[in-house]
Amino acid sequence: MNALQSNNKDFQMIGVPCNQFHYQEPGANSTEIMNGITHVRPGFGFVPNFPLTEKIEVNGQNQDPLFTYLKKYCEPTSYKMFGMNWSPIDSRDVRWNFEKFLIGRDGKPVKRYYILVDPTEPRVQDDITAELKKSRHDGPVDIPVVG
């Protein structure tokens, strides 16, 4: 993930911690989450070079409005559902940690990637490059209001 961020200077990756998938993100706050990333998973002193949001819910009744928006415009990557601990269940729900969304310069979702797609795969890099080549402007990015 760090390489993907480093290799694309006009690209911004954002990590979104979520504890809805077999409770794999138990950190209570940003310090605990960062300690888990650095020392446990992936560990080995890993420090992300991209921002992390606060821990949110991406599915169910309390899902963050950002994910309501992303899922509305991107088809699910799989129809297999894993251990679900939220309600209500929706066919567009995020299936597991590490599902990825590519968002265009205009703030609109472009593509959604399955959990096993490595973000450094050529097809992902090609999609990022294609988005970065789209018209650039010096003004603020027009991000739709979510909610």
- Give the Cα separation of 58 and 69 in Å (integer): 11
| Cα 113 to the center of its chain, rounded Å | 9
Each of the 147 residues of the chain gets a pLDDT tens digit; together they read 888 899 888 899 999 999 999 888 889 889 999 999 999 888 899 999 999 999 999 999 999 999 999 999 999 998 777 777 788 889 999 999 899 999 998 999 999 999 999 999 999 999 999 999 986 655 565 555 654
pLDDT at 138: 57
pLDDT at 13: 93
How many angstroms separate the most distant Cα atoms in the chain?
A: 44
**CB within 8 A of 31, min separation 6: which ones?**
none
CATH number of 56-133: 3.40.30.10
pLDDT at 24: 86
Helix (H) or strand (E) holding 101: strand 100-103
Kindly report whether the peptide bond that precedes residue 88 is cis, defined as omega within 30 degrees of 0: yes
pLDDT at 43: 84
Rounded to 5°, the CA angle 57-95-105 comes to 70
pTM: 0.84
